[in-house]
Amino acid sequence: MNNSRREFVRTTASGVLSAGLLGSKGYAAQRGTARDRSVPRAQASLRILILGGTGFTGPFQIEYALARGHQVTIFNRGRTQPTVNADLLERVERLVGDRDNDIEALRGGQWDAVIDNSSSVPRWTRQTAELLKDTAHTYLFTSSLSVHSDNSKIGINEDDPVIELEDPTVEEVTGATYGGLKALCEEETRRIFPDGAIIVRPGLIVGPGDRSDRWTYWPVRIARGGEVMAPGTPDDPTQHIDARDLAEFDIHLIEQRKVGTYSAVGPLSQLSMAELLYGIRAIVSNEISFTWVDADFLAEHEVSAWSEMTSWVPPRGEMAGFSSFDNSRAVAAGLKFRPLALTAKDTLDWWWSLPEERGAQPRAGLDPEKERRVLEAFHEAHG
Ligand SMILES: NC(=O)c1ccc[n+]([C@@H]2O[C@H](COP(=O)([O-])OP(=O)(O)OC[C@H]3O[C@@H](n4cnc5c(N)ncnc54)[C@H](OP(=O)(O)O)[C@@H]3O)[C@@H](O)[C@H]2O)c1
């Protein structure tokens, strides 16, 4: 896309926003990031330690915590650089160490609350929770909706069973062990912080700054225009959570000391794939059409739901409920969702701001040539 085209898309989208066409009060309260709007200060300033902090959600947790008037410390190895909000690192205390074998920098520190983003290994969570239990009153562990053992149910909630690993001593994090390991980390958190454990289980985290390029594929693909291959049926459900909404929810739970377990996924009411794709379409202006290709045809042509047709899981069999989690407990506890259009527009703006080489090498989504080939085969098969 050339520059004037980009400018047009941006101007169109911001025109829609400033005209207030996307909603009234509820929408305005969720607009932008913490520094784009006036965020009221919390009643009490807390000392918050973030284990992690420079990946995807961390920089938004830092931004919102600072805006609320809290003091922030982060702990990491110093390898990962934030893709957004890098300037805010100047306003936080930075401790260096490794969850695996060197957490000495945390010894003797004084914090009210801990956010543990960086662990998927129970030993890591056990070590930091034990070390910090006499200083902090709250330990928020960032888990995942992947903890559930049965994904066939529609409306899985926080009380549904979690995976039990055959070998709970395993430490290698793979697709097969990730959910079970997160469940064990949750257990350690609850055991060591019996009165102060907050477990947040996000769904697919999306928005500006996402290094995985999964959900990002859709705004980028739709902005390119032309014939877009859409997966499954228009009614198939999809869920996600904007990293900024997740970050604000985390800080809110800590401030309110709302201990418990929460499925942090949105949006508020069920979203279909058609609503997702047509919703994203609303932020661009181009020649575009969607061709819905059924799950069997995609499987036959080796199109992956996870890595290519991202944000879509065929709603059948063992995974029938994987895009229909019940988020009502999190919503009752204060989880709010910015509109899809804002997530999509901010994601696209961020993507367009990346160096050309990075933009040319997406880490997920369907390769344009493969999309063309499969669409051609689909039209041939269907006349
Ligand atoms: N992305 C999703 O869709 C999704 C969905 C569900 C759940 N989750 C969970 O969400 C959590 C948050 O991820 P995020 O990227 O948003 O977190 P983050 O806090 O923004 O980034 C991860 C941080 O961990 C640090 N880290 C990694 N290995 C470390 C080690 N051995 N010792 C010390 N620090 C280490 C990294 O810095 P250094 O590399 O510099 O150490 C980085 O700061 C993760 O636990 C993930 O499992 C993610």
Residue nearest to atom 20 of ligand 1 (CA): 55
The residue range of the domain holding 221 is 1-30+210-239+273-324+340-383
Query: Are the CB atoms for 300 and 231 separated by under 8 Å?
Result: no
Is 155 in a helix, a strand, or coil? coil
| 141 is a domain residue | no
| 153 is a domain residue | no
Candidates 83, 117, 186: which one to mutate for ligand 1, based on the most atoms within 8 Å of Cβ? 117
Is this model's pTM higher than 0.85 or not? yes
Quote the pLDDT of residue 32: 56
Nearest atom in ligand 1 to 243's CA: 16
Instruction: Please work out whether the CB of residue 58 comes within 6 Å of at least one atom of ligand 1.
Output: yes
Quote the pLDDT of residue 374: 98
| 151 is a domain residue | no
Residue nearest to atom 1 of ligand 1 (CA): 205
Span 190-216, mean pLDDT?
98
pLDDT, mean over the chain? 92
- β-strands 71-76, 93-96 pairing: parallel
Type of residue found at 144: S
Quote the pLDDT of residue 23: 33
**What confidence tens digit (pLDDT) does each residue in 310-344 have?**
999 999 999 999 999 999 999 999 999 999 999 99
| 183 is a domain residue | no
**Which one, of 259, 263, 246, lies nearest residue 337 by Cα?**
246
Query: Are the CB atoms for 197 and 141 separated by under 8 Å?
Result: yes
Residue nearest to atom 48 of ligand 1 (CA): 205
| 11 is a domain residue | yes
How many domains would you assign to the chain? 1
Q: How far is the CA of 117 from the centre of ligand 1 (A)?
A: 5
Candidates 51, 73, 98, 118: which one to mutate for ligand 1, based on the most atoms within 8 Å of Cβ? 118
**Which one, of 332, 358, 361, 321, lies nearest residue 239 by Cα?**
321
**What confidence tens digit (pLDDT) does each residue in 219-276 have?**
999 999 999 999 999 999 999 999 999 999 999 999 999 999 999 999 999 999 999 9
